[in-house]
Structure 1
Amino acid sequence: MARIQLITIAINILFIAYISRLIIKGKLREEYAIVWCICTFVLILFSFWRGGLDVMSKLFGVFEPPNLVFTGFIFIILVYLLHLSVVSSKAQHSITRLTQELAILKEKMEKAEEEKHIGN
């Protein structure tokens, strides 16, 4: 096995361990970790299977194997950015709704305090 393969495999295993540590500490949610784990396992697969990139590029009809890597990762990044945009939009909607509910509750409390002071 070539030195670069061993280095790549070791780095990927360390990266998986780091992702696991972030999940355990609660700093990374599982739904986001899945994408990182899948990408890392794909890199580990191609680290062991040296001719795999050539096979995959022939299967997809790509003439140069590095072009397949770039195209694949650009596609994955775009899909992931779309997912993050949806999550961000949901969070923004929830924050707006909670802020409105908080304002209503604050107004009700102020009215209740006014009525309490007027009643005394």
Structure 2
Amino acid sequence: MTPRQKIFALMVCVALFGIIVSLVHKRKLKEEYAWLWLVTSAALFVLVLWYDLLVGLTNLIGAVLPTTTLFLFGLLFFMLITLHFSIKISRLSTMVTELAQETAILREENRALKSAPPEPEKEDEK
């Protein structure tokens, strides 16, 4: 990796790290997801500084070029993120359905109570 490529890659890692911290600070990204992106940024940072590790991983998986290894890990990362979000969306969809059903039941009970004739008041016998 040329020095120019290393500098560019390190700048991207630092920028990603800074953007994630800023998004968490502004409450636009939950801490639940921030750690995943921070770990990803740190992993890229380590791979840029320790290029031999990337070459070793490339040889381990049988890839030809280190860029292929990065692309493969990026693809796996996005597949896992997509699976995680699909699970979350499915859970939220079930929750919305249950809430809609409960709201309809409560609305109907409320309507029934409002339309029922008032009960006669009982006088206290003392």
Q: TM-score, normalised by structure 1?
A: 0.84
Question: Hey, what's the Cα distance between the residues in 2 that align with 1:21 and 1:67?
Answer: 31
Give the ranges of 4+ consecutive aligned residues of structure 1 lying more than 4 Å apart after TM superposition: none
Match for 1:119: what amino acid? Answer: P
Q: Please name the residue that 1:93 is paired with.
A: 94
Task: State the Cα deviation string for residues 17-57 of structure 1 (Å, max 9, x = none).
Answer: 22112112221112222221122111111221233321211
Take 1:75 and 1:7, find their aligned partners in 2: how far apart are those partners?
Answer: 23
SS at match of 2:64: coil
Q: CA RMSD in A?
A: 2.0
Alignment partners' CA distance in 1, 2:8 and 2:68 = 23
Please state how far the C-alpha of 1:62 moved relative to its aligned partner. 2.1
C-alpha distance in 2 between matches for 1:12 and 1:57: 20
Structure 2, unaligned stretches of length 5 or more? 120-126
AA in 2 matched with 1:85: S
Give the number of the structure whose alpha-carbon radius of gyration is greater: 2
Q: Compute the displacement of 1:8 (Å).
A: 2.4
For residue 93 of structure 1, report the CA deviation from its aligned partner.
0.5
- What residue is the counterpart of 1:44 in the other structure? 45
TM-score (structure 2 length as normaliser): 0.81
Matched positions, count:
118
Point out the structure with the larger helix share: 1
- Give structure 1 stretches of 5+ with no counterpart: none
